[in-house]
C-alpha cells in the first residue's frame, strides 16, 4: 500500500501542521491520565515535527461527547500530560475554532505545539460537514494523520481535511499499515492461527470471512464463544451470549467445516454464579453447564489445547480477551495464552483495544509480540479487507 508519509513533505520548518492523533485515553476520577500508551505511541511523530521546526496543531477526540461540550472530557489534563512527556510547553486552546484559537496559532513559533479542544465537542466533526472541515483546514498548511485508532471513521479530522490540504501519514500510522498489510497478502507464514474473544460476533464476521481459506485454526473464547456454543447445541446457562446471532454463528462453523478449517470452541470452561473478585469458580466440561452458571473464561484443558496449537503456528492474529480478564478469577485463560504467545517464536499481531489493554494490565512483556495495534475497531476493519477512510485519504 503506497501512502504519503512525513518523508514526502518537502519542507516542515515553519509550516503549520494539523496533526490528528488518537489521545482517547482512560482518565482517573480527577481527570488525570490513567494509561498514556496511546500518547506515547505518537511521540515519535510529534518529536520529529518539533525538531524539524514545524508548528504542530494537535487534534484529538476524548470519550463520546456526542457533539456537545462535556466538561469532564476536556483535553486540558491530556495536554498537561503530553507536556510532561515532551518536557516542552504544550499550549491548550479552550476551543476548536474561533478567535482565541486563531490568536494562539498566529503567535506560534517554529517547534511550538498547540492542542485544540476535544474535536468531537461539535457535531460537524463526525458529520464531516464541508464548511466546518474547510474552516478547520484553514488553521494549517499540511495535514498529518497519526490516529490509526480512528482511521475507520470518515470524520472531518480523519479524512475530510485531505480534501483541502496535502495529507500524509504520521510515523505511527505508517507503522500500523506496514505491520498489518502483510496479513492481507498471500505471503503469510503458515500455519496461521486466528484467536477471537470479546463479546460480539458482528465485529468479527469480516475478519472471519476474510481469513476463510487462509487460516488453519480459529480459536474462540470470551462471550463470543458462548454464542458459538449455544449455536452448537450446548446449554450456556446464564452466560452472556447473542441469541439473535445463533444462525450467523452456525453458518460460520459450517463454512469452516466445508473448507476443512479447524474452528475450535472451548471444551471446558470456568463458571461462576456471580461476577466479582471473590467469586467461587468451577472448571467444568461445556456439556455440564446448566442452571444459573455463567461462563466467564476458558478452562484449563482448553487453555492447554490452545497453547499446543499456538506452538506449531508461524503466524498468530489475536483480537479479544478469552475471558472476563478484568476480574482476577476469570483472567487465567487470557493470561496463560498471552504469556505463552509472548515467548513463542512466531509473527504475533495483537488487534488493539481490549486485547492490548488486557495484556498491559496483566503485566505481560509487550516486547514479546511482533506488533500490538493501537486501534481496536480500525484494526478489525483493516484485517477484514475494508477500505478505511482515514487511510484512503493518504494514498498516493
27, 35, 76, 214, 252 from 30: Cα distances, Å: 8, 14, 12, 47, 45
Long-range contacts of 279-284 (CB under 8 A, 24+ apart): 279/327, 279/329, 279/330, 281/329, 281/330
CB 94 within 8 A of CB 100: yes
46, 143, 180, 332 from 90: Cα distances, Å: 11, 19, 32, 41
* Cα-trace Rg, the chain: 23
Cα 359 to Cα 365: distance, rounded to the nearest angstrom:
8
User: Which residue, 86, 133, 134, is CA-closest to 114?
Assistant: 86
DSSP 227-288: HHHHHTT---TT----GGGHHHHHHHHHHHHHTT-EEE--SEEEEESS-STT---EEEEGGG
CB burial string 1-25: b at 16+ within 10 A, e below: eebbbbeebeebeebbbbbbbbbbb
Cα 237 to Cα 295: distance, rounded to the nearest angstrom:
8
Strands 91-92 and 113-115, by their bridges, are parallel
Catalytic residues: 38, 200, 353, 377
CB 215 within 8 A of CB 394: no
Amino acid at each position: 500500500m503506497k501512502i504519503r508519509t512525513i518523508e514526502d513533505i518537502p519542507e516542515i520548518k515553519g509550516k503549520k501542521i494539523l496533526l490528528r492523533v488518537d489521545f482517547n485515553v482512560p482518565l482517573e476520577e480527577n481527570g488525570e491520565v490513567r494509561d498514556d500508551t496511546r500518547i506515547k505511541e505518537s511521540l515519535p511523530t510529534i518529536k520529529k515535527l518539533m525538531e524539524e521546526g514545524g508548528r504542530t496543531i494537535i487534534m484529538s477526540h476524548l470519550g463520546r461527547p456526542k457533539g456537545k461540550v462535556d466538561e469532564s472530557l476536556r483535553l486540558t489534563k491530556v495536554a498537561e500530560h503530553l507536556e510532561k512527556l515532551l518536557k516542552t510547553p504544550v499550549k491548550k486552546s479552550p476551543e476548536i475554532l474561533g478567535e482565541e484559537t486563531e490568536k494562539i496559532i498566529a503567535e506560534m513559533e517554529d517547534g511550538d505545539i498547540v492542542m485544540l479542544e476535544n474535536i468531537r465537542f461539535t457535531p460537524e466533526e463526525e458529520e464531516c460537514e464541508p464548511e466546518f472541515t474547510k474552516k478547520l483546514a484553514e488553521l494549517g498548511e499540511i495535514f498529518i494523520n497519526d490516529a490509526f485508532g480512528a482511521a475507520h471513521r470518515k470524520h472531518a479530522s480523519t479524512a475530510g481535511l485531505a480534501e483541502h490540504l496535502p495529507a500524509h501519514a504520521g510515523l505511527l500510522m505508517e507503522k500500523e499499515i506496514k505491520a498489518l498489510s502483510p496479513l492481507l497478502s498471500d505471503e503469510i507464514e503458515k500455519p496461521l492461527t486466528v484467536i477471537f474473544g470479546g463479546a460480539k460476533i458482528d465485529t468479527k464476521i469480516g475478519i472471519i470471512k476474510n481469513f476463510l481459506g487462509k487460516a488453519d485454526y480459529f480459536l474462540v473464547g470470551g462471550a463470543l464463544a458462548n454464542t458459538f456454543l449455544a449455536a452448537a447445541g450446548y446449554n450456556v446457562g446464564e452466560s452472556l451470549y447473542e441469541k439473535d446471532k445463533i444462525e450467523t454463528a452456525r453458518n460460520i462453523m459450517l463454512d469452516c467445516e466445508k473448507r476443512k478449517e479447524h474452528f475450535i470452541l472451548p471444551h471446558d470452561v470456568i463458571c461462576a454464579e456471580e461476577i466479582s473478585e471473590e467469586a467461587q469458580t468451577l472448571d467444568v466440561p461445556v456439556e455440564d453447564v446448566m442452571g444459573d452458571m455463567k461462563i466467564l473464561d476458558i478452562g484449563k484443558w482448553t487453555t492447554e489445547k490452545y497453547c499446543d496449537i499456538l506452538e506449531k503456528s508461524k503466524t498468530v492474529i489475536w483480537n479479544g480477551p478469552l475471558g472476563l480478564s478484568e476480574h482476577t478469577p476469570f483472567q487465567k485463560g487470557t493470561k496463560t495464552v498471552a504469556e505463552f504467545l509472548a515467548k513463542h517464536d512466531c509473527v504475533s499481531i495483537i488487534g488493539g483495544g481490549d486485547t492490548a489493554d488486557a495484556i498491559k494490565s496483566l503485566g505481560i512483556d509487550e516486547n514479546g509480540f511482533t506488533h500490538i495495534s493501537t486501534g481496536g475497531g480500525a484494526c478489525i476493519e483493516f484485517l477484514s479487507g475494508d477500505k478505511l477512510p482515514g487511510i484512503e485519504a493518504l494514498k498516493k
